[in-house]
Chains A and B, each alone.
Chain A
Amino acid sequence: GAVVSQHPSRVICKSGTSVKIECRSLDFQATTMFWYRQFPKQSLMLMATSNEGSKATYEQGVEKDKFLINHASLTLSTLTVTSAHPEDSSFYICSASGTASNQPQHFGDGTRLSIL
């Protein structure tokens, strides 16, 4: 199946730091990537939909200036958590796929972000 690489897998940093998470589709061109946030034992919460070459579409309640998403190429999307605070600590996971209803999403392994 398709491979999506997400890096880093774990980040621990001080409050106020900005953190960048990369999501790469290794063996296919992903016109659309999705960024999710997940709290322990809960479902995935969609943060934004990232389209190559255009601005991301954010879900209601997600701060655009806090969570910067860039999708510069068909294989790379990045999520930058700006001026991170302890409440931003979470598990972030990206996925890539086509947009057809019969296509599964291919997920990265996720990033565990801990803000001290």
Chain B
Amino acid sequence: AQKITQTQPGMFVQEKEAVTLDCTYDTSDQSYGLFWYKQPSSGEMIFLIYQGSYDEQNATEGRYSLNFQKARKSANLVISASQLGDSAMYFCAMREGRVGNAGKSTFGDGTTLTVKP
């Protein structure tokens, strides 16, 4: 069964500094996708970044980058130059490419990030 583990319930970072949010995953599939979502206190889920299991390069989207280490089954999110608006809950998620899986995602428990001024 697929599983996502986020070991940091809460993280603090000083404004303008970089922060890494950890994510490890477990799957027996060779084909899968890894995603990070941001959920502000208002509740909406915002897609941040995607990494495919066959992608050789780490994904980047603006200030977000994904440190993908396939052998370690980790997909850590790096946020550079933190801003006050980055304070939110962050979820790591995985979708497997297995036929019949209906594309369900598995979510981690989330990490609450607080950016200090």
Contacts and interface: CB of A to CB of B under 8 A. Distances in A.
Interface string A74-116: 0000000000000000010101011111111111111010000
Nearest to A44: B107
A49 interface: yes
Interface residues of A, number: 29
Contact of B35 (A34, A43, A98, A104): A104
Nearest to A91: B43
B45 A103 contact: no
A29 interface: no
Q: Which of B33, B47, B91 has the most CB of A within 10 A?
A: B47
A43 B109 contact: yes
29 contacts: A34-B104, A34-B105, A41-B110, A41-B112, A42-B109, A43-B91, A43-B107, A44-B91, A46-B105, A49-B102, A57-B102, A98-B103, A101-B52, A101-B53, A102-B33, A102-B50, A102-B52, A102-B95, A103-B103, A104-B47, A104-B50, A105-B37, A105-B47, A107-B44, A107-B46, A110-B43, A110-B44, A110-B45, A112-B43
Interface of A: 1, 32, 34, 41-44, 46, 49, 51, 57, 91, 93, 95, 97-110, 112
